[in-house]
Structure 1
Amino acid sequence: MSPARTRRDLELRHLRCFLAIAEERNITRAAARLGLTQPAASRTLATLEAALGVRLVDRSTHHLTLTAEGETFRVRAAAAVTAFGDALDVGRAEARPLRLGHSWSAAGRFTTPLLRRWRRAHPDVPLELLRHDDRTAGIASGSTDAALLRGPVDSPGLVAVTLFTEDRVAAVPSDSPLADRPELALADLAPYPVALNPVSGTTTLALWPAATRSSVK
């Protein structure tokens, strides 16, 4: 079968599978999200790569990353999935909401004022808040039109503007020696186990010197 014919045989499910893998950075989690088995997701990705004639994903035992071609294709695949959804949404064309993604806490204390101001300024365009636990809050997959992101995000085709800054907060047990302190430095946490959110969190191991990272998880 020629490469051109193979590409014509690709379906939307191939793009959705790839986008899920790109967001999750893990084939098993992507498969669970899509209701597939891990082998089925792997075969779908392999079919897509064979049809395109490029490797989209580099995978090893411990991690998965997108190749340069994969990063470029992710933008195109997300646009295609979004366009397909818009094409099917003919009956609601005038009432289509602006989908605003967020990974957690939306805009914090500004969320309610934002919703109220949007309703006053754009009464004909609903604003829909959608939570996505990934680094781009659904933009990479085409699930959202814009997003409120925390921390830097390196994604091709994404334009970011700083809106405001927030304090970093640490949650500690009430009987912890740190509980009564009015503020903490990252160095104060180094002797204790620290739980991090690697999917959508902004606190990373890079904030600590290498010699003090042994307890951070």
Structure 2
Amino acid sequence: MSIELRHFRCFLAIADTLSVTRAAERLHLTQPAVSRTLRQLEQDLGVRLVDRSTHHLALTPDGLAFRDQAAIAVTAFDRALGHARRTSWPLRLGHAWSAAGTGTTALLRRWHEEHPETPLELLRIDDRTAGLARGDVDAALLRGEVRAPGLITEQLTTEPRVAGLPADDPLARRPTLSLADLADRTLALNTVSGITTLDLWPATARPAATITIGNTDDWLAAITGGRAIGVTTSATAEMHPHPEMAYVPLTDAPPVPVVIAWRDGPGHPRIADLVALAHEVMGHRHTAPNAT
């Protein structure tokens, strides 16, 4: 049996839903057909992709690694087919939160003016690489250290860190804060796409408790609802003002690098133009990219 694109699509549907039933509904197939296709793929690859030993499906380590590569392959096929049919080939720019900060509007408008033949689609994807590693986007604006293999990054700028507090919090009235001022509070941590961890504090003076959230909207809700405080960058304050939220500069927290990233290999032909424009809008041009 040779592997076909339908095997990849079937596996990705299972990986996205973690359910044979929901994958079958998405693909308009029967459950036995989905199970059979997955079994054929695993047999041909010689690895187990999905752990079916519990009541809930889960991807094995091999499945997790294969998912990203399968997504890249399917995306490349779909886009090549669309290009061959002379459909438009948009350039997809991902971000996990805050996009290009206050430069977002300028970036989008200048791109439209200078490259009207290539639509630039800005996509928020709640993922550490904003979907770049999976092939969901062509490039991404990311914050913090990017450790995913196979990506190239160029630093655009840095952003200072700020504390996010309920507007009626006593600390919200201060002009600046230190990390120590937050050590007795509950900290909201975005473990999906965020960059703040307890390692930002000394081991002996870390926040007393944490709550885990998965995206910027839930982070804002946790803070404005009085459940926690947070640490983010100035871009969040610029892009997400809220009447019940206060952002206070942190004096002793290191700034956060903002990078543009893309995959090391064949990609959209306009990536170089996007990188150059991002440097113009957000920062200054660096002489050489860094492979990470």
For Structure 1 versus Structure 2, the TM-score category normalised by the shorter chain is: 0.7 to 0.9
Q: Matches of 1:216 and 1:82 in 2, distance apart?
A: 37
Q: Which residue of 2 aligns with 1:158?
A: 151
Contact 2:126 2:193 in 1 (8 A): yes
Q: Matches of 1:213 and 1:65 in 2, distance apart?
A: 33
**TM-score after normalising by structure 1:** 0.72
Partner SS, residue 178 of structure 1: helix
Question: Over residues 6-31 of structure 1, what are the superposed CA-to-partner deviations in whole Å (9 max), with x where a residue is unaligned?
Answer: 7459613244247648xxxxx48xx7
Q: Which residue of 2 aligns with 1:11?
A: 7
Q: Which residue of 2 aligns with 1:183?
A: 176
Task: Report the residue type matching 2:119 in the other structure.
Answer: P
Q: 1:78 to 1:158 in 2, by over 3 A?
A: farther
Question: Over residues 123-146 of structure 1, what are the superposed CA-to-partner deviations in whole Å (9 max), with x where a residue is unaligned?
Answer: 211111111111111112221111
Question: Over residues 50-73 of structure 1, what are the superposed CA-to-partner deviations in whole Å (9 max), with x where a residue is unaligned?
Answer: 542235589xx9xx8974x55753
Q: Matches of 1:105 and 1:121 in 2, distance apart?
A: 23
Q: 1:46 to 1:157 in 2, by over 3 A?
A: same
Q: Matches of 2:98 and 2:89 in 1, distance apart?
A: 24
Q: Which residue of 1 aligns with 2:88?
A: 95
Q: Which residue of 2 aligns with 1:194?
A: 187
Deviation at 1:79, TM superposition (A): 2.4
Contact 1:79 1:142 in 2 (8 A): yes
- Which one has more relative contact order, counting CA pairs under 8 Å at least 6 apart? 2
Contact 2:9 2:74 in 1 (8 A): no
Q: Which residue of 1 aligns with 2:231?
A: none
Q: Which residue of 2 aligns with 1:147?
A: 140
Deviation at 1:189, TM superposition (A): 1.1
Contact 2:82 2:88 in 1 (8 A): no
Contact 1:19 1:140 in 2 (8 A): no
Q: Percent identity?
A: 53
Q: Matches of 2:161 and 2:36 in 1, distance apart?
A: 40
Corresponding residue pairs, total: 198
Q: 1:181 to 1:206 in 2, by over 3 A?
A: same
Partner SS, residue 11 of structure 1: helix
Q: Matches of 2:36 and 2:182 in 1, distance apart?
A: 43
Question: Over residues 75-118 of structure 1, what are the superposed CA-to-partner deviations in whole Å (9 max), with x where a residue is unaligned?
Answer: 53232111221144257635211011111221110101111221
Q: Matches of 2:155 and 2:36 in 1, distance apart?
A: 37
Q: Matches of 2:155 and 2:80 in 1, distance apart?
A: 32
Q: 1:19 to 1:184 in 2, by over 3 A?
A: farther
Q: Matches of 2:154 and 2:210 in 1, distance apart?
A: 30
Higher strand share: 2
Q: Matches of 1:51 and 1:209 in 2, distance apart?
A: 50
Q: Matches of 2:97 and 2:185 in 1, distance apart?
A: 25
Match of 1:127 among 116, 120, 135: 120
Matched, 1:76 2:69: yes
Partner SS, residue 160 of structure 1: strand
Partner SS, residue 154 of structure 1: coil
Give 5+ residue unaligned stretches, structure 2: 212-292
Q: CA RMSD in A?
A: 3.6
Q: Which residue of 1 aligns with 2:103?
A: 110
Q: Matches of 2:194 and 2:60 in 1, distance apart?
A: 20
